[in-house]
């Protein structure tokens, strides 16, 4: 009985080796392509996007201007459709009442080509005085603060 089980084990090992050899020779002689398309697993809701932007930290005013006949929806369209800026690009815009939250990518220094830094800004419209303010988060680094000031200037120019 032990001899029979040993023979079966040896035959199983030989079959396994033959299958592996056959599979590896088949792989090397054939060309295969892998489908690299990806499905969207989860699309963030506007509220989830705002949570990820950490909008509570947008408490430093970088630029304020008076703009007559300001429309937040027109400003949104201008930023998404017509405003082209090489120094940063807009990733997403979410509007809540008279406030627009903007997620963008920029570079440090401001005129550099590598836009690998993400930042969030808010553009707030005050109906009382037709004032528009651009808010961002506090920056400790002087270079980052300068970039934020320049982005705020560009945003104000774009929505004016």
In a domain, 144, yes or no: yes
CA distances from 60 to 17, 18, 64, 149 (A): 68, 70, 11, 11
Q: Which pLDDT band holds residue 1 (cuts at 50, 70, 90)?
A: low
| pLDDT number for residue 83 | 59
Which residue range forms the structural domain that includes residue 118?
A: 46-159
* Positions of E strands within the chain: 60-66, 88-96, 99-106, 117-126, 131-136
Residue positions counted in the chain:
160
In a domain, 135, yes or no: yes
Q: What is the mean pLDDT of residues 18-41?
A: 64
Check which CATH number belongs to the domain holding 93 and give it: 3.30.530
Tell me the pLDDT of the chain averaged across its residues: 81
Could you tell me if 101 and 122 are in contact, meaning their C-beta atoms sit under 8 angstroms apart? yes
Number of domains in the chain: 1
Q: Which pLDDT band holds residue 61 (cuts at 50, 70, 90)?
A: very high
| pLDDT number for residue 110 | 74
């Amino acid at each position: 009985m032990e001899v029979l089980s040993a023979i079966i084990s040896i035959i199983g090992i030989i079959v396994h080796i033959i299958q592996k050899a056959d599979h590896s020779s088949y792989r090397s002689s054939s060309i295969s392509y892998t489908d690299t398309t990806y499905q969207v697993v989860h699309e963030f809701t506007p509220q989830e996007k705002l949570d990820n932007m950490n909008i509570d930290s947008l408490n430093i005013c970088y630029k304020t201007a008076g703009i007559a006949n300001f429309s937040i929806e027109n400003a949104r369209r201008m930023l998404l459709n017509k405003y082209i800026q090489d120094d940063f690009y807009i990733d997403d815009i979410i509007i809540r009442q008279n406030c627009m939250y903007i997620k963008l990518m920029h570079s440090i220094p401001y005129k550099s080509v590598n836009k690998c830094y993400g930042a969030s800004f808010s553009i707030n419209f005050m109906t009382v005085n037709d004032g528009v303010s651009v808010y961002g988060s506090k920056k400790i680094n002087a270079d980052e603060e300068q970039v934020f000031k320049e982005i705020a200037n560009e945003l104000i120019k774009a929505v004016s």
